[in-house]
Structure 1
Amino acid sequence: MKRNVLILSFCVFTIAAFNSRAQQKINRLDSISPISFLSTTYSGDTTAVPEVLENPLFYNYNFTYKKRLDSIQRDIPLSYNESVQRYIDIYSSRKDMMGKMLGLSEYYFPIFENALKAYNVPAELKFLPIIESSMNSHAISRVGATGLWQFMFSTAKDYGLNMDNFVDERKDPIQASYAAAAYFKDAYKNLGDWLLAIAAYNCGTGNVNRAIAKAHSRDFWAIRPFLPQETRNYVPAFIAAIYVMNCPDKHHIKAQKSLFAIKTDTIQVSRFVSLPELAQALAMEESDLYTLNPSYKKKIVNGSADQPKRIIIPKVSLVNFAGIYEVLNNNVVETSTEVILASNDDRRLHKKRKEVSESRHAVKYHKVGAGQNLNVIADQYHVEVQDLKVWNNLKGSNIVPGQRLIVSQKSGISKDAGTKSGKKYISYKAKGKNGLRASERL
């Protein structure tokens, strides 16, 4: 009996120690810099979704949290498990951040809800920009995803968003929200499950379908181990964000007042309008007007008779009306009116092109060492002896120590290039949020 008690005590101590170390690692992973919610730069990639350590032992199951999730569940399943609990712990401890999210939601959520309702998709999707961008219209991820909904360039174009030298509609809260709603409608039609559609928004429908095939299941929690790491965390974080935003008082989180806590008007203009001049007429800070209209790159609204443009302004008082009318109707903006379509700003694509370009133009050299021959050098650089002879104009196989040889050239043929095996490669463009050009082996 005494022996059994000792064994049980040892097991409990081991589990407690493991859980303590796991929690310490989570705390380290969760230590990210504070986010400036109205800044024009954004260096993270879904920074509101910190990495968490997977733990097979669910030691802090909370029936109260489970009940609360069940009570707010609507169209999207709000599962409760260890992964969700981890993110509830994280977000509920970030009281300042979530307080800012509550303040911003008063302005943004009605915009999101209108767009989601127009496409008949669940209103709960309005919480996604919290984990996508911390509801920052100027957010740009490390790979180039932009705006509140973090659209990649190609997907934004597919869903009707315009990017040119004057405007980036990925940063427009209204336009981008309708594009996101259209994406979710298509993803749900393709996958038939809202959690899978949300996962697809993060990693693309192709990755989700491959995970489904590997897991032989269409349940998100079953296919989760086969998804990219970020996507595995993305859905639990989304569920946790819904929980915290619906139960802030349970965790002593108070809404913080934001710039958007003002009454606004929407006007349509069919001519070029200077935002600095309009801000002066409105007697407001230029930066505040830019914040309300984040999609205009040059601080110029390029409206035309064919394509009027929207401007969001604070409610107008009669005192300022004459000056506002002058700016909107009579002031001439001195700038070129030429519209130039933007190029793809997917940073992964640019990195790949740069790597390919550098590899094509790279010429590598090798200084012959004592005892080395062409066979040894060819094996070292994965090339053929005949290539070394051609690149270096060698008529024979004799080389001497200290001699400088070209060992890689643009026209070089590597042993690993697959030319001998007859393998060929084609390029394709993967559809989905994170579509990239890639190589597919036939």
Structure 2
Amino acid sequence: ASAHYLKDMYDIYKDWNLVIAAYNCGPGTINKAIRRSGGKTDYWEIYNYLPKETRGYVPAFIAANYVMTYYCKHNICPMETDIPEATDTVQISRNLHFEQIADICGISLDQIKSLNPQFKKSIIPGESKPQTLRLPINHISAFIDKQDTIYAHRSNELFKNRRVVAVSDTRSTARNSKGSTATGNVTYHKIRSGENLGSIARKYGVTVNQLKSWNGLRSTRISAGKRLKIYK
């Protein structure tokens, strides 16, 4: 689908930089930038009329291609990986530690981490929202068959520092002076001008991917005045 999209965009713009930009922000935004520039069809000439993220997206793409092509000239060596050719995913709806999976399924921690880089602390926070776990395909059946054993294995040891909070049926709502509203275990942050997902994520101690997942965002573009849902 991506390849077809890129081909279609190239048939329209005849410029790969514009194609990559359109992949990031959409052809409608590119067309608007072209009109604002007086009809220029070169990426660098419409650069100042593009969204901030897209202005960084194309140079980053060029830099990545440069590194992939000329890595030897800069003493950059490819790293070997043990990622298997065939993998599959399962949905996790409870908190789970990588060590529980490794112990019961016989998969190394390094391999689990390499297949699931979105989880930074070796913990899958499935209780807040269903999460996706990727495993070698030959271990998927074992995981499904032994789920109850895996969740129970060393749970008291691995999650001993996690607090259990009792939540009453009547949840109070508190608003602070920084534009966020808390209801139960969910905080609603009102986006201010100049804020981005990265700065908001750092403020609440969460990741950008979590913010996108909780709020159904497909990109990192946000608008001032709207609210973001954040789980504690």
Q: TM-score under structure 2 normalisation?
A: 0.45
The structure with the largest alpha-carbon Rg is 1
Greater relative contact order (Cα 8 A, min sep 6): structure 1 or 2? 1
